[in-house]
Amino acid sequence: MEIVLKYFSDFTPAQLQQLEALKGLYEEWNGKINVISRKDIDSLYERHVLHSLSIAAIADFQPGTQILDLGTGGGFPGIPLAIFYPEVQFHLVDSIGKKIKVVQGVSEALGLKNVTSAHTRVEEIKNRKFDIVVSRAVAPLADLWRWSKPLLKKSAVPGKQFEKGLICLKGGDLAQEISESGVKPRLLELYEIFPEESFKEKYIVMVKS
């Protein structure tokens, strides 16, 4: 928890309570359904919570913004972002039902009113549009963009550095993946935002629509 407070300080008491509750909730759920590796549970706040909140460091989402978390797994980056932005609406989807069960359990325990979730494949989402799609190392950039593009609204949302499109968290050498994607993303190195060893060679990848 200290590592989150090292970089973010403007939390309400309710948000602090929610953030502090995350470790116990994920430990409890991980005992039933293994959604986070054992070693990562010990570094939950650095590897998962702070990693997710890197998006909040570069994008100032306005109240009422609609965000889709594509392939959310156990709720990352969606749940930490939903705590950070209580006035923003998040829809978390994953094709694996047991992972959505964890998302629903954690969201309910935290009292997050701005989170909905669904056990579905992203291609099956119909009659809904979003301002932003977020994702964390789920699939190659080409696939993420192909899935995201039809679900993005046409009108832009005011923001700090990002208006509308896809924001994904990725690691490693992305040159080939970007080349094959056919898009020209903006890359930000996480180590420049959070100078911690675990964030070396990790990036925020942004594709504007």
| pLDDT, tens digit (0-9, with 9 covering 90-100), for 99-132 | 999 999 999 999 999 999 999 999 999 889 999 9
Strands, DSSP E only, in the chain?
Answer: 66-70, 89-94, 115-119, 132-136, 165-171, 186-189, 202-208
Tell me the pLDDT of the chain averaged across its residues.
Answer: 92
Which of 174, 171, 173, 172 shows the shortest CA–CA distance to 185? 174
35 labelled as ligand-binding?
no
Task: Find, among 80, 57, 51, 48, the residue nearest to 67 by Cα.
Answer: 80
Binding residue per annotation — 123?
A: yes
The structure tokens listed for 196 are: 């911690």
Rounded CA-CA distance 119/121 in Å is 7
Residue 136 assigned as binding residue:
yes
Distance CA 112, CA 188 (A): 29
If DSSP codes are grouped into helix, strand and coil, which group holds residue 62?
A: coil
- For residue 51, the one-letter residue type is H
| Average pLDDT of the segment spanning 127-138 | 92
Residue 103 known to bind ligand: no
Tokens 């992972």 correspond to: 99
> What whole-number percentage of the chain has pLDDT above 70?
96
The pair of three-digit structure tokens given for residue 74, joined into one six-digit string: 């156990």
Hey, what amino acid is at 174? L
Percent of the chain at pLDDT > 90 equals 83
pLDDT score of 161: 47
Residue 122 known to bind ligand: yes
pTM for this prediction: 0.94
| C-alpha to C-alpha distance for 129 and 171, rounded to whole angstroms | 28
Cα separation, 35 vs 79, in Å, equals: 14
> In the prediction, which pLDDT does 162 show?
56
Task: Write down the pLDDT at residue 40.
Answer: 80
Q: In which band, very low, low, confident or very high, does the pLDDT at 39 lie, cut at 50, 70 and 90? A: confident
**Residue 207 buriedness (CB in 10 A; 0-12 / 13-18 / 19+):** buried
Query: What's the CA gap between 135 and 122, in Å, rounded?
Result: 12
At 127 the pLDDT is: 87
* Domains along the chain with CATH numbers: 2-208 (3.40.50.150)
pLDDT tens-place string over residues 153-197 = 876 555 544 568 999 999 999 999 999 999 999 999 999 999 999
